[in-house]
Copies of this chain bind each other. A is one copy, B any other.
Amino acid sequence: MTANLLYAQSGGMTSVINASACGVIEAARARPEHIGKVFAARDGIVGALTEQLYDLDAESDAAIAGLRHLPGGVFGSCRYDLQDIATHRHQYERLIEVFAAHDIGYFLYNGGGGSMLTAERLLQVSAELGYPLKVVGVPKTIDNDLADTDTSPGFGSAAKYVAVSAREAACDVASMAGTSTKVFILEVMGRHAGWLAAAGGLAERTPGELPLVLLLAERAFDEGTFLEAVRTRVNAQGYCVIVASEGLKDSAGRFLSINTDNKVYDWIQLGGVAAGLAARIKQHLGYRTHWAVADYLQRSARHLASRTDLEQAYACGVEAVRLLAEGGHGTMVTLRRLADEPYRWEMASVPLAAVADLEYLVPDDFITPDGFGITDAARRYLRPLIEGEDHPPFRDGIPHYEPLRLTLAATRLPAFELD
Contact = CB atoms under 8 A, between A and B. Distances in A.
Interface size range on A against B:
35 or more
A164 interface: yes
A295 B302 contact: no
Interface stretch (A77-85, A127-135, A228-236): A77-85
Given A78-B179, A262-B282, A302-B168, A398 B43 contact: no
30 contacts: A13-B175, A15-B168, A43-B178, A46-B178, A71-B171, A75-B175, A77-B175, A78-B180, A160-B398, A163-B398, A164-B303, A164-B398, A165-B301, A167-B398, A168-B297, A168-B300, A168-B301, A168-B303, A171-B300, A172-B296, A180-B264, A184-B296, A203-B398, A264-B288, A269-B288, A271-B275, A274-B293, A291-B293, A387-B397, A388-B397
Q: In the complex this chain forms, how many copies of it are found? A: 2
Nearest to A299: B172
A371 interface: no
Contact of A387 (B163, B299, B396): B396
A389 interface: yes
Given A73-B175, A303-B304, 8 more contacts: A9-B175, A13-B175, A78-B180, A80-B179, A171-B300, A171-B401, A291-B293, A387-B397
A169 B264 contact: no
Given A264-B288, A391-B389, A397-B202, A296 B179 contact: no
A285 interface: no
